[in-house]
Amino acid sequence: MSAGVADRHLRALELPVVEAARLLVGCTIAHGDASGVIVETEAYHEREPACHAHIGLTARTRTLFAAPGIAYVYRSYGIHALLNVVVEPEGVGAAVLIRALEPLTGLPAMGRRRGRPRPTDLCSGPGKLTQALDIGLELNEAPLLTGPIRLGPPPGDRPAEQIVAGVRIGITKAVELPWRFCAAGSRHVSRPWPAGLQAPAG
């Protein structure tokens, strides 16, 4: 096995968070028998105010300042668990929010947990994919290379994804940063890509 494509998820863990967010599109996330290909990510870094780590080291943000390669899972709006991949060296607060997956395996179980069988309704949002993969707050700080959640390289039989970048969604601070990355043309993203930023057709 040669280095390169197969190690993409490992290289991402060594890079600055914005580059990591771009590289993680196309990689895989699995929990139990359910898995999917990452088709949408966002980068968050302590130096900008939309990041939880911006306020410094607290009980909640401790995870973000830890060594790379673990999960940061937190509750959003009192309802949903959101999954992040912690990156950058220990002591730096940064993480990549996993915003959408293209379902790969375990679709029946995902559909049961989601209460909606349509493939494009299973993992097309940060709160949806954690419900589909049964990822809860108890998995905060779980290692991502040794399980139970597993971050893996892109499936070997898939062509490299074309990636488009845009501004992050659902935040009120630092709204101008183009730190959202999507697989171009994917029907599994959380929201349709703005028409003006659509990747060149064909």
Closer residue to DNA (CB): 6 or 57: 57
Residue 138, burial from CB neighbour count under 10 angstroms (0-12, 13-18, 19+) = exposed
β pairing state of 34-45 and 71-76: unpaired
Distance CA 94, CA 56 (A): 11
Which stretch in 13-21, 141-149, 153-161, 170-178 sits in contact with DNA by CB under 7 A? 170-178
Residue 82 in contact with DNA, rule: CB under 7 A: yes
Least gap, CB of 169 to DNA (angstroms): 5
Out of 10, 11, 52, 152, which residue is the one contacting DNA (CB under 7 A)?
52
Q: Round to whole Å and give the CA distance between 112 and 23.
A: 31
Name the β-bridge partners of 35. 30, 105
Read off φ and ψ for residue 96, nearest 5 degrees.
Answer: -105, 120
Q: Please identify, using beta-carbon distances, which residue of 6 and 55 lies nearer to DNA.
A: 55
- Measured CA to CA, the distance from residue 53 to residue 63 in angstroms comes to 9
Q: Which residues are 100's β-sheet partners? A: 40
How many residues of this chain bind DNA (CB under 7 A)? 38
Residue number with CB closer to DNA (4 or 56)? 56
Closer to DNA by CB, 33 or 138: give it: 138
Residues near DNA, by CB under 7 A: 42, 44, 50-53, 55, 58-61, 64, 72, 74-80, 82, 84, 95, 97, 114, 116, 121, 125-128, 137, 168-172, 190
